[in-house]
Amino acid sequence: MLPTTEKTCNMSGKILFVDDEPDLESLICQKFRKKIRTGEYQVFFAHNGVEALSTLREQPDIDIILTDINMPVMDGMALLAELNELVTLVKTVVISAYGDLGNIRKAMNGGAFDFLIKPINFQDLEITINKTLCHVQQLKDNERSRNEREEKLRQSEAREREKAIQLELALQNLQRTQSQLIQTEKMSSLGQLISGIAHEINNPVNFIYGNLTYVTDYTHQLLSLITLYQQHDAHKYPEIEALIEQIELEFIKEDMPKMLSSMKLGAERIRQIVLTLRNFSRLDEAEMKPVNIHEGIDSSLVILQSQLKAKPNSSSIQVIKEYGDLPQIECYACQLNQVFMNLLSNGIYALNHYDKKGSPEPIKIEPRTITIRTSMLNRDWVRISFKDNGPGMTSDVETRLFNPFFTTKPVGDGTGLGLSISYQIVVEKHGGDLKCFSQPDQGAEFVIEIPITQNNRIEMKAT
């Protein structure tokens, strides 16, 4: 046996004896009865290597295996080879007769921790067991310490990853908030500009429109006077007759009323445009209040009118309006108009810039259309739909559509904030829902669902 000094370890141990001698079990139990009774030793027995492996599977936390080398079925050398294949902290002590030193040396080279010579000296056996248990205890302590360090490292890495994720989210939120503030400021500036222009145009237009009525009356009266004069004395003055012929008085009498009517229609159109611009900006309606949704959609269409017209290499975009009978909707009108503007702008952009194959050429389909539908979802909710017959989008694009800064437009054409801000306005500000339905080559449809009043936003809407 290797020279050792006995160590005292405050631990219990599980010990497996593997030997085909029939009296070994009773002898071991007799010699170590006190340690077995106090639980310091837990002993198990097997008669060959096969039984030993079976016991080890049932008791995977066995600390020491003391095995004879020469046994039937599976000897100690074969058992030792099997144990080396297992990932375990169990230590093996081989036992053999003095004359079998060759196999003992082979076993030690094969991974055995120690050896004992038969006949067994039980004092040596106890010293060897205690020494081996101390070694196993140290190994387990090291393993436990390593596992604790690895767990702390994993927890530390997890905390750092969580911090990094939180910082990234905070940065994204900061960027989104900053961009939204810029976008909101731009929309506010646009609203103020539109409102100012509308106000400046409105006064002279009203002046012109109001005076056109009097000009029309005066013109009719003067024409009546000229007609009466022609009937009585005009033929007596050749120079008057010549002037009448020169200026084509009959044409003037016929064309003047038409010109005045056309001017009146033009002034009325300008008044309607001014009204539409004021409706879009709605600076006097910053608070939530009931409004006509259709007026907001129409005002957005007026502002986008130039983008709907025909281009040199493409036809105009037709807008089909299928408006339902809607009540007034309690909302932030200016913000909701911004949503309409974003959705319509995206539809127009898709129709104007991409063909069915995704190349940057105008769409060749005819007619190019945007269909706007409004309807009651139920008695408390309304649905507003914007559908184009453009190229559509893939499912991957559709799932990322409302993410801040995501855009399929070329650099300089879009910020990726329009739909994100629209989603925030509809969902967070109005308690509604904004969804997109699209497939490649099938166009895209954006659907807004919002409550009629904010008292209904907590009600479950019908599907």
317 closest CA partner among 339, 340, 358, 350: 350
343 closest CA partner among 309, 297, 382: 297
pLDDT for res 408: 63
pLDDT tens sequence across 419-437: 888 888 898 888 899 999 9
Q: Tokens in use for 443?
A: 């166009």
Check: CB of residue 107 under 8 Å from CB of residue 114.
Answer: no
Q: Which domains does the chain have, with CATH numbers?
A: 13-120 (3.40.50.2300), 282-463 (3.30.565.10)
pLDDT for res 329: 92
- Say what angle helices 249-281 and 122-232 make with each other, to 10 degrees: 160
78-99 burial by CB neighbour count: b if 16+ within 10 A, else e? ebbeebeeeeeebbbbbbbeee
Check: CB of residue 341 under 8 Å from CB of residue 190.
Answer: no
Query: In angstroms, rounded to a whole number, what is the distance separating the alpha carbons of residues 260 and 189?
Result: 37
Query: In angstroms, rounded to a whole number, what is the distance separating the alpha carbons of residues 304 and 344?
Result: 8
Q: Which parts of the chain have pLDDT scores under 50?
A: 1-7, 283-284, 355-363, 412, 462-463
Check: CB of residue 374 under 8 Å from CB of residue 294.
Answer: yes
| Torsion over CA: 410, 414, 417, 418 (sign) | negative
What's the pTM? 0.48
Q: Tokens in use for 234?
A: 């005009």
pLDDT for res 358: 44
Query: In angstroms, rounded to a whole number, what is the distance separating the alpha carbons of residues 217 and 197?
Result: 31
Check: CB of residue 381 under 8 Å from CB of residue 461.
Answer: yes
> Token pair 């080890």 is at which residue?
56
Q: Tokens in use for 298?
A: 């129409």
**Residues in the chain, how many?**
463
The 3-class SS string of 63-127 reads: CEEEEECCCCCCCHHHHHHHHHHCCCCCEEEEEEEHHHHHHHHHHHHCCCCEEEEECCCHHHHHH
pLDDT for res 222: 84
pLDDT for res 179: 64
Q: What is the CA radius of gyration of the chain?
A: 47
pLDDT tens sequence across 26-66: 888 888 888 888 888 888 998 888 888 988 888 888 888 99
